[in-house]
Amino acid sequence: MLTVLVFTPTAVALLLLALPPRTPVQALRAVWAATAAVELGLVVAVWAGYETGGGTQYEVRARWIPNAGVGYHIGVDGLSLPLLALTCVLFLACALHSLRENRRFREFAALFLFLQTTCLGLFVSLDLILFFVFFDLSIVAMYFVIAGWGHRDAKAAALKFFLYTFLGSLALLLGFIGLYLAAAPHTFDMVDLTRQNPLADRPAHAAPVLFAIVLGLAVKTPTVPFHTWLPPAHTEAPAAGSAILAGVLLKMGTYGFLRIAMPMLPDAWRRYALVLVVVGVLSVLHGALVALAQTDFKRMIAYTSVNHMGYILLGIGAAAQAAGTSAQARSLAITGSVTQMVSHGLITGALFLLAGALYERGRTYDMGAYGGVAATAPAFAILTGAAAFASLGLPGFSGFIAEFQIFTGALGPQPLATALSVLGILLTAGLFLRALRKILTGPPRPPNPSGAPRAFQDLRAHEYAGVAPLLVLAVILGIAPRFLLDVIEPASHAILEQLAR
């Protein structure tokens, strides 16, 4: 089941490339959208068949490179299932949003389908090398998306993105090899490594291994100070590329913390958790402050991603501290962090798609170039307003559910860090209100891309179809989050147990 889920997009991508060159573009569009819809259907089926609290399910274990202790081992649990679902939702949204993309559509669709395989594959991987392969392939695919379909300075931004995250992945590989060597018998299997806890009584070895893994994941997440690849990559990427980059690819980093670093190196994680908390707080505040100083709408959203990822680090770092806190608080912090991954994916995905719509009409992301957009584009204004309030953590949207859990759970163990991080939601409120005020309200000011101002057109059907469902999901999660939390909470408890060893 999972193998089909993971590899169907790539199979369809190959099919797309093999179709005769004269195939009408409508057919290609239909194939892409249909594949994305089928994938979503598959993931819903997986969710329906998933037994809440039943540990890893849909497991497949096959020999791959047995000599090196590498196997094809996949499965889902409460940690990965929400992210699988998020991936499928976002890819469908991007497929719908990109229906009118007319530059080399066939290659664009094929690349996105391949990218979907790498993302899904990473989240189901239960083997470090498999994880690593998908991790790197996602970087490769995203490189081509940015370089091939980006804006003016896309080549340089794509190269920076590729080299930086690739370098990070090398650090990650070193860490993986460290775990492999420590295990007896040598293996890359995540389940075995978690069970063995191979570096439990060798703190001197555990520290560099943890350092390498955390470094690799921190570049991908990204956290301060490894985030400088993010703004140019987002600013130059096409809208759908940005949505996937922020919505799914960034989660690979935070997911790695929860899947690999915490359960496999619990001792070292507990010892160095304070470092992660500090990095988290710095990311929250620095990300929000820099975002506040931006005049470029998309760059601003990119920096809020740094801010939002910081909350996750705060949550998973604070959860490591057992003293002076209850199990409920720690579980809330971890559940909140996972919820934040899903929530940020939906909300920031929507914001980036809306930024794409903005660019299509005015050919610039500069907020000063727009004004009074709400007059001619009410749907755009309503969706942007809703997405902005969702992103600033308003109750009723998923962001509040995530951030409230993180703050409430983290305050006991880390009062100072949490008190500082809470300021982040005030800063994001300030910057989003300012952006809404500049772009949407005030006297209407038609965008003027080519010397001939034209009224700002409202969202077209395919753009609407891409964004609205994401926000509807964010609202559903904000009001009735139980269906998601029921899946995540057992996984949080499992991580806490592994961490307490």
Partner 1 sequence: MSPALWSLIGLPLAAGTLLAPAGRRADRGAPPLATAVSALVLGLAVAAALRHPAVEAPLLEGLPLRLAVDGLSGVLVVTVAAVTLAVLLYSAARPGEEEARARFFGLMLLFEGSMLVTVTATTLPTLLMGWEVMGAASWALIGYRWREPERTAAAGTAFLTTRAADLGLYLAAGAALAAGPGPLALDGLARADEPWLSLVTAGVLVAALGKSAQLPFSFWLSRAMRGPSPVSALLHSAAMVVAGAYLLLRTGPLLDASGWGAEATAWAGAATALALGLVAVAQSDFKQLLAASTCAQIGFMVLAAGTGAATGGVLQLTAHAAAKSLLFLVAGAWLTAWGTQRLPALRGAARTDRVLGALCTVGALSLAGLPPLSLWAAKDVLLAGALEGSPWLYATGLAAAVLSAVYSVKILRFVWGRPEPRAGTAGRRIPGRAVIPLALLAAACVALTPMAFPPARDALTRYLGAEAQPVPHAWEFTLSGTLALLAAAAAWTRGDRPPPLPPRAERLARQWLGLEHAAHTLLVSPTLAAARAAAAFDDRVLDRAVNASARGAVGLARWTDRFIERAIDGAVEGVAATARRLGGQARRPQTGRLHQYLAQAVAAFSVIAAVLALVR
**Residues near partner 1 (CB under 8 A):** 160, 163-164, 225, 227-229, 286, 289-290, 292-294, 324-326, 328-329, 331-332, 335, 372, 374-375, 378, 382, 389, 394-396, 400-401, 404-405, 407-413, 415, 418-419, 422-423, 425-427, 429-430, 433-434, 437, 440-444, 481-482, 485, 489
Report residue 51 as tokens.
Answer: 């037994």
- 231 or 253: CB nearest partner 1: 231
- 160 or 344: CB nearest partner 1: 160
Distance of CA 459 to the CA centre of its chain: 25
Q: How far is the CB of 322 from partner 1 (least distance, A)?
A: 13
Report residue 429 as tokens.
Answer: 């409120």
Q: How far is the CB of 310 from partner 1 (least distance, A)?
A: 13
Distance of CA 408 to the CA centre of its chain: 23
Q: How far is the CB of 312 from partner 1 (least distance, A)?
A: 17
C-alpha angle 94-356-86 in degrees, rounded to nearest 5: 30
- 442 or 449: CB nearest partner 1: 442
Q: How far is the CB of 329 from partner 1 (least distance, A)?
A: 5
Q: How far is the CB of 376 from partner 1 (least distance, A)?
A: 12
Q: How far is the CB of 22 from partner 1 (least distance, A)?
A: 43
- 87 or 294: CB nearest partner 1: 294
Q: Do residues 348 and 428 lie in contact, with contact meaning Cβ atoms separated by under 8 Å?
A: no
Q: How far is the CB of 43 from partner 1 (least distance, A)?
A: 24
Which H/E stretch holds residue 61?
A: strand 57-65
- 10 or 421: CB nearest partner 1: 421
Between the CA of residue 308 and those of 217, 221, 303, 386, 419, what are the distances in Å? 16, 10, 9, 17, 16
Q: Single out the residue of 145, 313, 115, 106 nearest to residue 241, CA to CA.
A: 145
Amino acid of residue 500: A
- 352 or 407: CB nearest partner 1: 407
Report the distance separating Cα 155 and Cα 146, nearest Å.
Answer: 7
Q: How far is the CB of 396 from partner 1 (least distance, A)?
A: 6
Report residue 461 as tokens.
Answer: 């059907």
Distance in angstroms between the alpha carbons of the first and the last residue of the chain? 33
459-465: long-range contacts, CB 8 A cutoff, minimum separation 24: 459/357, 459/377, 459/379, 459/380, 459/383, 460/100, 462/96, 462/97, 462/99, 462/100, 463/97, 463/353, 463/357, 464/379, 464/383, 465/96, 465/97
- 75 or 446: CB nearest partner 1: 446
Which residues are 310's β-sheet partners? none
Q: How is 288-342 classified by DSSP, letter by letter?
A: HHHHHT--BHHHHHHHHHHHHHHHHHHHHHHTT--TT--HHHHHHHHHHHHHHHH
Q: How far is the CB of 305 from partner 1 (least distance, A)?
A: 14
Between the CA of residue 115 and those of 7, 57, 231, 237, 401, what are the distances in Å? 11, 24, 21, 15, 29
- 113 or 338: CB nearest partner 1: 338
Q: Do residues 249 and 142 lie in contact, with contact meaning Cβ atoms separated by under 8 Å?
A: yes
- 245 or 436: CB nearest partner 1: 436
- 138 or 405: CB nearest partner 1: 405
Which H/E stretch holds residue 40?
A: helix 25-49
Q: How far is the CB of 408 from partner 1 (least distance, A)?
A: 5
